[in-house]
Amino acid sequence: MLHMVKLAVGIQSIEDLAARQSLQTPPVDDLDGTSAAGMPWFRTRMYPRRAADILDGGSIYRVIAGRILCRQRITAIQPDTREDGTPCALVVMAPDIIPVQPRAMRPFQGWRYLRPEDAPPDLLANSHTGDALPEALRNELAELCLI
């Protein structure tokens, strides 16, 4: 298993990411026999050479405002073509956005591989109420190095 990490450019919060993904239209009707309707996706110029490892349970971790804040499981990767004819890779993700323990990360172009042992852990829901911490509180706690 292997993960990817990618900047969420123009996104300020996990809620912004979810809102932007909810506005996407499916790039294809049928993706290798599986419907892509309603699934978030992105295109990237470089096709991952280790796509098989990523599809073996990997996720895309998102850098938002300088920190890795969330992840989504990757469900499909396939060769695609942009509107201008440029070849690219289409990456389809599960709709669930899972908050992770915030971790600072400097900007970079494109995407990077992320080994499972280097990936930040998921933030677990509050065991008393079943609710996750609000994102603003998580950000404040992370800035104070408390989480």
Q: Above pLDDT 90, what percent of the chain?
A: 69
Sequence-ordered strand ranges (E) for the chain: 3-7, 30-31, 34-35, 41-44, 59-64, 67-81, 87-93, 98-104, 111-114
Mean pLDDT of 53-61: 98
pLDDT of residue 38: 74
Among candidate residues 1, 20, 4, 3, the one with its CA nearest the CA of residue 108: 4
pTM: 0.83
Of 31-40, 86-95, 125-134, the range with the highest mean pLDDT is: 86-95
Query: Domain of 113?
Result: 3-143
Residue 36 confidence class, pLDDT cut points 50, 70, 90 = low
81 and 25 in contact (C-beta within 8 Å)? no
**Per the structure, how many domains does the chain have?**
1
3-state secondary structure of 114: strand
Question: Pairing state of beta strands 59-64 and 3-7?
Answer: parallel
- Please report, for residues 47, 59, 79, 103, 134, the alpha-carbon distance to residue 112 in angstroms, rounded to integers and kept in the order given: 12, 12, 18, 15, 28
